[in-house]
Structure 1
Amino acid sequence: MYKKSTQNYYRLYSRSKKECKNCPDFSACATDLGTVRINASAYYPSFYRNGKKVGTSDYLRVMRLRKIWAEGTFAVLKREHKLNKIQKRGLQKATEECLLSATALNLKRLVKTV
C-alpha cells in the first residue's frame, strides 16, 4: 500500500508482532493492536540496486564522465552565471533561472564551435 507523506510516497507494511519480536529495529516501528507497521521508501529498491554497482568498472567509467561533463558545467554556471546563489524566489522561478543559465551556456558553446 502506498501512502503520501510530506515529500515522497512510502510503502506501508503490516506484520504480526510475533514475526517482529526479535528484530533489533522493533522499537522504531509503529505498533497497533497485534500488528506492526513498517514504513519504507518507495525508492529503496532503486537505491539498493545502485548501491551494489559502486566500485564496478561501469560505475567508475560513468563517474569519470560525470566529472568531465556535469561537474565542469556546474562550475562554469556558478562562476560565470552567478548560480552560486539563486536570485529568484520560489521553486518554479529558481528552476527557470537555472534553465535559462544552462541555455545561455549551451548557446555560448554552440557559437564557439560554429
Structure 2
Amino acid sequence: MPYRRRLRGRDSGQVAIEYLGFIPVLLIVALAGIQIGVVAYAAEQAGTAARAGARAASLRQDAQQACAGAVSGGITVSCSSGAGGDSVTVTATVRIPKIVWDFGDATKTATMPLDH
C-alpha cells in the first residue's frame, strides 16, 4: 500500500503540466473565433452602409454621409456611387479590424432604383 500512495503523489503534477501545454491551443482557438466574429461584423456593417448609401443616392442625397451614419461608432467606411440608367449603385468598404490576422477590407454593393 505505501508504494501506491507514493506513485499517486508523483502523478498529481503531471495533470498541471498537461493543462499548461493545452492553454496555447485554447487561446489560439478563442482568438480565431473572435477574429471570425469581427470579420462577420465588418461585412454586416459594410452591407448596411451600402444599402443606406444607395437609398440616399436614389433620393439624390449625399451617399457618403448616409454610409457614415449607418455604421456603428468607431468603424470607418468609404462609399463610392455611380448612376447608370434607372438605378444607382453604391459600394461600401469597411476596414476589418485586426485581432490576430489581417483580412483587409469588407466590401459590399447595393443597387436601388432612382426616384423620379
TM-score (norm 1): 0.24
Q: Which has the larger radius of gyration?
A: 2
Larger relative contact order (Cα-Cα within 8 Å, sequence gap ≥ 6)? 2
TM-score (norm 2): 0.24
More strand by share: 2
